[in-house]
Amino acid sequence: MMKHTRNLLLVGCCLFASISSWSQKSETYLESNLGLSINDELVFPGLSVLWGKRTFQTEKRFVDRQFGLAAPSLVTLKIGQGWRNPNTHRTFSYGVRVWPLHGYVQFGFPNPRCENQVSERTMRRLKKRGKSRENLLCGEWNISIEGGSALIDDYFFNGSFFYEVALWSSAIVTFSHRWYLD
């Protein structure tokens, strides 16, 4: 009986967390990444296309999660939290790339055409097409620096498990652009 109660409580907490995250302000986006993976003495290029969602807990603090297709790992998944400056809209976040296993810090810089005043020239061009500022596709540029779990093997275990779950990567550096869909 106790086991069923514990499981029911766990399911209830998960449902509550899901419902409460839906009621908060969120941003859905597509992201494209180009990066470099450092594996021992070699450097490999990589790329990915991701779907993500950023859910705000307060005006400044958010939870960010994304998943998608990647090369050379085939798929990737990141989860983290961060903060956005309400005046500049710049962001800082940190978290875990679940596959391949890395810890990361990420810095975001908004596309200035959406966050700043739109020039008169741009407004004339939009008006000529029957559009307004709301029709601009807004986005954000990001830089991510990641440390792979292979570093843990190097310094603590001298084994192979953490190398494998990091796809033998000690570090990843990525440059990306997000297009907000909301």
pLDDT of 154-175, one tens digit each? 566 666 777 677 777 888 999 9
Average pLDDT over residues 25-54: 91
User: Which has more confidence, 168 or 16?
Assistant: 168
CA pair distance 7, 28, nearest whole angstrom: 31
pLDDT digits (tens, 9 = 90+) for 94-149: 999 998 899 999 999 988 766 556 677 877 877 887 777 666 667 899 999 998 88
User: pTM (2 decimals)?
Assistant: 0.74
Cβ contact 65:78 at 8 Å: yes
CA pair distance 132, 113, nearest whole angstrom: 13
Kindly report the CATH number that applies to the domain delimited by 24-180: 2.40.160
DSSP 3-state of 13: helix
DSSP 3-state of 164: helix
Q: Cα Rg for the chain, rounded, in angstroms?
A: 20
Domain positions in the chain are: 24-180
CA pair distance 26, 62, nearest whole angstrom: 9
- C-alpha torsion sign, points 100, 105, 109, 110: positive
Q: How many helices (H) and strands (E) does the chain have?
A: 5, 8
- Cα–Cα distances in Å, from 102 out to 77, 110, 141, 142, 148? 10, 25, 21, 17, 4
User: Which has more confidence, 159 or 77?
Assistant: 77
